[in-house]
Amino acid sequence: MKLTGVELRRISMPLVAPFRTSFGVETTRDILLLRAVLDGSGLDGSGLDGPGLDGQSEGWGECVAMSDPLYSSEYVDASVDVLKRFMLPKLFAASHVDGAAVGPLLEPFKGHWMSKAVIETAVLDAELRATGRSFARELGATRDRVPCGVSVGIHDSVGALLESVEGYVSAGYVRIKLKIEPGWDVEPVRAVRERFGDDLLIQVDANTAYTLQDAQHLAKLDDFGLLLIEQPLPEEDVLGHAQLAKLIKTPVCLDESITSARTAAAAIALGACSIINIKPGRVGGYLEARRIHDVCQAHGIAVWCGGMLETGLGRAANIALAALPGFTLPGDTSASDRYYKTDITEPFVLSPDGQLDVPAGPGLGVTPLPGELAAVTTWTEWVPA
Ligand code: NPQ
Ligand code: MG
């Protein structure tokens, strides 16, 4: 099986409301999609053609990079460049490419996890579609629906925040994540806890906005029975998280700091986190995401699936991952309408009890709707082998 060409496509998706975090405000999501075309002879890798394994197969991936390098060092223009200049030529030159081969082939290139993830996902989707297997089955999912949480941005006032949270709780979300930053932390958390009571699952995410000097301040969150505090300190400050974990009662969860199963194992050994947010894009793809799940399970570390404001394409794969047995906390795997009025796939709709169905069809189980896709496309380029 060979990679015979790739379509790169940029889309512009307006958000239903501005989403503010400690690193900035987003009103429109600028997203890179990738469609991989494979020559399907011998798609099972055995060299023997089986039924339905001939001909071309295509698969989709969604890159989670933002336009600007504010969440991590990655950004969309860099992803287009590294894919075209280095990654795609390497894969085009390989005599055999399938989902499992992409990671090892791209291993010489440092970093660029989001770019590695998008091409691996598209190749895996093509392979699984051709052989009738779903992402959920391939990854080892053990559930057919998953409970969902929602990430709530920084608001202009506590009143406006309470109104937003009320809407999400009524929609059925089983867990609320509040984005925090210095000046927007203890008071909004107190207000949400007081208004919705002790039974609501609440966690917070700082996206690296604090330093270890803020430990005594962050300890004020101890009173509110939070599930966790996510990435309070800079990406590189794993040791700082280990020190902070000793100074506060709220469990520390890492997001930005975890870029591989190896960094996850090191953070766990150091005592830097008792929970990990797994985002496939941040760690180079779904296969590495599963390895992190396995490392965490072996160490008794709870994991949950993060989100990067994905369209239905990325959302489908995230929901499949979130159905693995070690994902014991609700993820940021919200419904399509949390972010978008119109999705580019059939929308993911939350059940009244806050669950989403795990896609069961071949590959991702969803494909872009041609009309919706065309309506949001701002640029395309065909890259031939
Ligand atoms: C997080 N996501 O867990 C991220 C951060 C994040 C759902 O909170 C555009 C693209 C805007 C990606 C804002 C959630 C974003 C983004 C926040 C990712 O840290
Ligand atoms: Mg986060």
Give the model confidence (pLDDT) of 102-118 as tens digits: 999 999 999 999 999 99
Distance 370 CA to ligand 1 centre (A): 27
Ligand 1: residues whose CB is within 6 Å? Answer: 19, 21, 26, 29, 66, 71, 151, 205, 207, 255, 306-309, 332
**CA 110 to ligand 2 center in whole angstroms:** 23
Q: What CA–CA distance (Å, rounded) separates 163 from 175?
A: 16
Where on the phi/psi map is residue 205: left (φ > 0), alpha (ψ -120 to 50), or beta? beta
Nearest to 258 by CA among 243, 14, 241: 241
Segment among 39-43, 139-143, 371-375 with least mean pLDDT: 39-43
In this predicted structure, what is the pLDDT of residue 44? 54
**pLDDT one-digit tens code per residue, 159-207:** 999 999 999 999 999 999 999 999 999 999 999 999 999 999 999 999 9
Torsion over CA: 43, 10, 138, 143 (sign):
negative
pTM assigned to the model: 0.96
Which among 11, 12, 13, 19 is the best mutation to test ligand 1's pocket, defined by most ligand atoms within 8 Å of the CB? 19
The Cα angle at residue 205 between residues 31 and 221, in degrees rounded to 5: 170
Structure-token pair, residue 266: 């090191």
How far is Cα 230 from Cα 210, in angstroms, rounded to an integer? Answer: 11
Query: What amino acid positions are annotated as catalytic residues?
Result: 179, 279
**Tokens at residue 142, please?**
């053990």
Dump pLDDT digits (tens) for 221-266. Answer: 999 999 999 999 999 999 999 999 999 999 999 999 999 999 999 9
Which atom of ligand 1 is found nearest the CA of 277? 3
Q: Measured in whole angstroms, how far is the alpha carbon of residue 193 from the centre of its chain?
A: 27
The pLDDT value recorded for residue 49 is 47
Rounded to whole angstroms, the Cα distance separating 318 from 299 reads 22
CA dist 330 and 146 (Å) reads 8
Strand partners, 28: 14
The Cα 129–Cα 132 span in angstroms is 5
Taking 70 as the threshold, does the pLDDT of residue 41 lie above it? Answer: no
Q: Kindly give, in sequence order, each residue whose CB lies less than 8 Å from that of residue 214, ignoring residues fewer than 6 positions away.
A: 182, 232
**What's the CA gap between 254 and 231, in Å, rounded?**
5
Q: Where are the alpha helices (DSSP H) in the chain?
A: 76-82, 88-93, 99-106, 113-130, 135-139, 158-171, 186-196, 215-218, 238-247, 261-270, 286-299, 312-322, 370-376
Among 12, 32, 151, 276, residue to substitute to test ligand 1 (most atoms within 8 Å of Cβ): 151
Task: Give the integer Cα–Cα distance in Å for 143 and 229.
Answer: 27
Judge whether residue 52 has pLDDT over 80.
no
Q: Which-ligand-closest: CA of 27?
A: 1
Region 334-362: mean pLDDT is 98
Cα(208) to centroid(ligand 1), Å: 12
What's residue 40's pLDDT?
81
39, 2 in Cβ contact below 8 A? yes
Tell me the CA end-to-end span of the chain in Å, nearest whole number.
13
Element of type H or E holding 276: strand 275-278
Q: Does residue 33 register a pLDDT over 50?
A: yes
